[in-house]
Homo-oligomer: A and B are copies of this chain.
Amino acid sequence: MTVRLAIIGAGIMGGDHARLFAAEIPGVTLQTICDADAARARAVADKVGARHVASDPEAAIRDGNVDAVLIAAPDPFHAPLTLACIAAAKPVLCEKPLSQSTRECLAVMEAEERRGKRLVQIGFMRRFDPSYVEIKNLLASGALGKALMFHCFHRNVAPAYGVQDSMAICNSAPHEFDVARWMLGSDYTSISVFRPGGANAPQSAPVFMVLETAGGQLVDIEVNISAAYGYDVRGELVGEKGSAFLRAPVLADVNLGLKSYSVYPEDWRPRFVEAYRRQNLAWLKSLASGVPAGASAWDGYCATAVAEAGVAALRTGKTVAVEHVARPGFYA
């Protein structure tokens, strides 16, 4: 009755998922921790009490004692390993992005459709964040009227690793692309990209994007990977009758030294720990029920399609149309 899980990748994300499943998610057994670095796999496995370690992900996926797979390997392996899961008919929760290439995303979609069963969930965990869910519910209630705009702000203290100028669009922005598209229920049609400093902007400069949707809404996104002051994700949905802001979890207000302050986290984990927990609970529940939850391979494809257009807009300084294949009926 318990799901035997293989976690592929024992880095920061994989380790966090392993701890989360072990300590806070019922109905799952950590069968395998797999990492190319055997010592790293072993360290995580020991900490969480996993049954086995492995270093060959394809074998780990095929293993008959594994019922489901979580992929937290480096980005370039996301799509190939997802394809391996589909080949093995194993349900998979793959960290975002599915791929930085739409072509590869389409390959995953085709494989999944051929397999005839929804097996792939993408780790766009914000769809499970209580604040985003609250605002989506408020919008659905009609209280705000029709949605007009969604203002999004994504700020990191500092770039996580080596900076390249498209990273903000390809790596951080997909969370915003996906959650805004999910919030508004409409696909993007165009994207314009601006940067302070323009063409001479340093690689770490913020990126400011304005997107239009098929439903006529505007989405603007600041991605600021060198924001310095804290990890801060904000959003305001503006409707015809009113608006709503996301609130991040804050535990205390402190009065000290002529300031009243609350604290920003240094990275995403304190902000989204509950979203990950709910995502993973929902994923397990979907395995039992057979009803998919969260973001599909199609959603992963859509986020990548707009990121590709965004990189083109950044390079050319022009508004770029977002091109999609039509949504396959399989993902309706």
Contacts and interface: CB of A to CB of B under 8 A. Distances in A.
Nearest to A198: B216
Contacts of A258: 157, 229-230, 263-266
A249 B249 contact: yes
**How many copies of this chain sit in the oligomeric assembly?**
4
A217 interface: yes
A321 interface: no
Interface in A25-44: 25-28
Contacts of A28: 26
Nearest to A213: B196
Interface stretch (A6-14, A105-113, A144-152): A144-152
A26 B1 CA distance: 13
Contact of A252 (B131, B148, B201, B206): B131
B238 A224 contact: yes
Contacts of A249: 130, 249
Interface in A249-301: 249-266, 281
A154 to B, nearest CB: 12
Please report whether the interface of chain A is mostly helix, strand, loop or mixed according to DSSP: mixed
Given A135-B252, A230-B255, A258-B263, 18 more contacts: A25-B26, A26-B26, A130-B251, A149-B206, A194-B212, A195-B218, A196-B216, A228-B240, A228-B241, A229-B243, A229-B258, A232-B255, A241-B256, A244-B252, A245-B252, A258-B265, A258-B266, A260-B262
Interface of A: 22-28, 130-131, 133-135, 138, 143-145, 148-149, 151, 157, 192, 194-198, 200-201, 205-206, 208, 210, 212, 216-218, 220, 222, 224, 226-230, 232, 238, 240-247, 249-266, 281
